[in-house]
Amino acid sequence: MVSENKAAYPTRSPKRWVIGITGASGAIYGITLCRQLLNAGFHLHLVVSDAGWRVLKEELGWNVSNRLECVNSAFGSAVSEGRMTYHPLNDIGASIASGSFICEGMAIVPCSMGSLSAIASGASTNLLTRAADVMLKEGRPLLIVPRETPLHAIHLENMLKLSRLGVRIIPAMPAFYNGPQSIEDIVHFIVGKTMDNMGIEHNLYKRWGQPNE
């Protein structure tokens, strides 16, 4: 007979998200999202594709020769305090590769068309795409911020396929009704829209109809 002792069931952590950064332009979106989530008290598990590291170097000027040191430098005490865990791309035995790893979901920000294609086809070729596959099979939230233009039919078909599976597709398309005055304002809008879809409160951008303060 199965025991009804509730202690036998795993304890759910409502403060844990997996964040993926791939080789699409716009790595600043992913880094900003991580910082916002850390400031809000969430625990993060970060995985970055090889192309993602190239974009961090080219767009943000990061020295990525030592990736772990790079993460330590970018997120400081969050790493030493255990609030940020970095997983190498090829560590297929990492915790986030298993469905038994309990988390709120995963956001891939930004997401390249190559990674999106792999996820849509179920090709778990590395830890990032495996973690995304886990979200799908476990029925957990998966959010993707694609950054590509123009889009051809294969891109659109892959996004439609994932959308039909319940994946939230949040294109990196900034709005201008909020009167952005800087690149930071534009970045905050995309990150804010992502956090909206994660169900996380923020004040990163002025919403439509919101009065000036």
CA distance 116 to 108: 9
CA distance 116 to 129: 9
Q: Consult the annotation and say whether 113 binds a ligand.
A: yes
The DSSP secondary-structure symbol of 95 reads: G
CA distance 202 to 188: 10
CA distance 18 to 61: 24
Q: Consult the annotation and say whether 24 binds a ligand.
A: yes
Q: Consult the annotation and say whether 114 binds a ligand.
A: yes
Give start and end residues of each alpha helix (H) in the chain. Answer: 27-39, 50-60, 67-75, 77-80, 113-121, 127-138, 153-164, 183-198
* Residue whose pair of structure tokens reads 């809008």 in the numeric block: 189
Q: Consult the annotation and say whether 177 binds a ligand.
A: yes
Spell out the residues 6+ positions from residue 73 whose beta carbon is closer than 8 angstroms to its own: none
CA 192 to chain centre: 13
Q: Consult the annotation and say whether 193 binds a ligand.
A: yes
Q: Consult the annotation and say whether 73 binds a ligand.
A: no
Q: Consult the annotation and say whether 182 binds a ligand.
A: no
Q: Consult the annotation and say whether 23 binds a ligand.
A: yes
Q: Consult the annotation and say whether 161 binds a ligand.
A: no
Q: Consult the annotation and say whether 131 binds a ligand.
A: no
Q: Give the residue ranges of the annotated binding site.
A: 23-25, 49, 112-115, 147, 177, 193
Q: Give the residue ranges of the annotated binding site for FMN.
A: 23-25, 49, 112-115, 147
Q: Give the residue ranges of the annotated binding site for dimethylallyl phosphate.
A: 177, 193
